[in-house]
A and B are shown apart, each in its own frame.
Chain A
Amino acid sequence: MSLPNKLLNGLVLCLALSAPAFAQVKPGQPFPDLKGYALEGTLPACAGQVVLVDFWATWCAPCKASFPAYGQLQRELAPRGFILLAISIDKTAAPYAEFLQRFSPPFPTVRDGTQKLISVVKVPAMPTSYLIDRKGIVRSVHSGFHGEATVKALREEIIRLLEEKS
């Protein structure tokens, strides 16, 4: 290898190592298989369903504010093949367990205590929800919770996906 090539390779390697690795899960990509991340709790059977994966934490106020509205979505659309899965990223179990005991959300909740999954998904904000179609492909990403505007957009998108033929 000639010297210029060596220099170029060295520079590319240095820059690659110094740049922050950022690879968020985006619409059009398959969502990571949840079984491979040792999530605490029981994962629901999501195959063939429209799934909204919501990342939340007990220390995140807007995340908790979204729960009543998300509960309503779950109650309304679950009979048609929709599942809302809330994934807590709390590192400690105590506040997570206490929150669930107090509010008992009507949708399944698991905990990514090791934060392995969130490190792969790389959410842009807290909370962030990923709407996944029946084939496991992410169709939209909702960053933050903006009250009725978020709920309205989600409801429309979920209904559209539920009406799609698989």
Chain B
Amino acid sequence: MKRNHVLVLMLVGLAALLSGCTTTPVHPWERATLADYTMRPDRDPLHNTMFEHIYFSREASTGGRGVGGSGCGCN
């Protein structure tokens, strides 16, 4: 009898453990917050400009983001 109880407990424990692997997706109608403007990584134009400037300064020899190709001066 005790063995049966252990079996039941093991089974319930296994089911509970497996249920931990299930995911709870964000439903299409629950995405208002995700679609909000404040969730955009590029929402601050000043930050974008500064970031571009730093990137350009670091990568000056290759023309930053604005120019394709390498720093050979042939573009």
Contact = CB atoms under 8 A, between A and B. Distances in A.
A55 interface: yes
Contacts of B32: 57, 59, 90-91
B47 to A, nearest CB: 23
A11 B12 CA distance: 7
Interface stretch (A13-21, A39-47, A102-110, A133-141): A13-21
B15 A18 contact: yes
Interface size of B as a range: 10 to 19
B15 A15 contact: yes
B16 A57 contact: no
A11 B32 CA distance: 37
Does more than half of chain B's interface fall in helix, strand or loop, or is it mixed? helix
B19 A14 contact: yes
A14 B28 contact: no
A118 interface: yes
9 contacts: A10-B8, A11-B15, A15-B19, A18-B15, A18-B19, A20-B24, A119-B29, A124-B28, A126-B31
Closest 9 CB pairs of A and B: A18-B19, A14-B15, A59-B35, A118-B29, A126-B28, A59-B32, A89-B29, A125-B28, A3-B4
Given A115-B29, A126-B28, A126-B31, 14 more contacts: A7-B7, A10-B8, A10-B12, A14-B12, A14-B16, A17-B19, A20-B22, A20-B24, A20-B25, A59-B32, A59-B36, A89-B29, A91-B32, A119-B29
Interface of B: 4, 7-8, 11-12, 15-16, 18-19, 22, 24-25, 27-29, 31-32, 35-36
